Amino acid sequence: MSVPPRPGLLHRPLSDVLSALASQHELAGGGCPAAALTAASAAALTAKVARGSRATWIEAGGAIAHAESLRMQAQALIERDADAYRDASSALLRSERSARRGVAAPAIVTTSVADRERLVGEALTHAADLALAIANASSEIAQLAAAVARSCPSSLRPDALTAVALAEAATCAAAQLVEVNRRLPADDQRRAASSEAAEAALKARERAL
């Protein structure tokens, strides 16, 4: 009997999500989902501060909508990472089973090894794309949170600055994942794009302070 798939991270208790991040088996790597989760938290906090600013800030409504849109984007990236890992794991398992069945047939084993290398390469490329998407979303959240921090009541400013810090951290984490990806050439545009996202988040924090 096949084991039913576990629900996505967004549909599980927080303690279960943290256990998944700590597991060696459930996620391909904890970096991307952790960064996306941090970004989503920053966007939610930004929306909260903007809601508390409606009485004094005429543009609060637009900031709320923007923050909620970015939160949904970050949440979707959490699930994309988990879905990609499940797909890659299934493909690799099929490849390994084929290799075991083909012990007496070198041609089959060679094909399986080639398939495995291709799958690993595709997984690394996807990881770079996903990390860049997280870096871009997180950087945008940092910039929005900084704008909210400059316009919100002073009593809400600590929460806004926390959102900026969280978003900047998520941006830098995701950009680092792009930088260390061994599949990307040194001059790959994704490296430059992730660095630009991190720089924009840093400048947003400086403007907010």
pLDDT for 39 equals 98
Please answer whether residues 42 and 167 qualify as being in contact, where contact means their C-beta atoms are separated by less than 8 angstroms. yes
pLDDT for 107 equals 46
Q: By C-alpha distance, which of 13, 9, 66 is closest to 34?
A: 9
Q: Which two tokens stand for residue 52?
A: 């508390």
pLDDT for 190 equals 95
* Cα–Cα distance measured from residue 176 to residue 42, given in angstroms and rounded to the nearest whole number: 19
Please answer whether residues 205 and 143 qualify as being in contact, where contact means their C-beta atoms are separated by less than 8 angstroms. no
Low-confidence ranges of the chain (pLDDT < 70): 1-6, 28, 81-113
Please answer whether residues 101 and 165 qualify as being in contact, where contact means their C-beta atoms are separated by less than 8 angstroms. no
pLDDT for 88 equals 54
Q: Sign of the C-alpha dihedral, residues 108, 114, 118, 124?
A: positive
pLDDT for 117 equals 74
pLDDT for 122 equals 77
pLDDT for 84 equals 61
pLDDT for 105 equals 45
pLDDT for 114 equals 73
CATH 1.20.120.680, applies to 29-208? yes
Q: By C-alpha distance, which of 46, 20, 43 is closest to 32?
A: 20
Classify 6 in phi/psi space as left (phi over 0), alpha (psi -120 to 50) or beta: beta
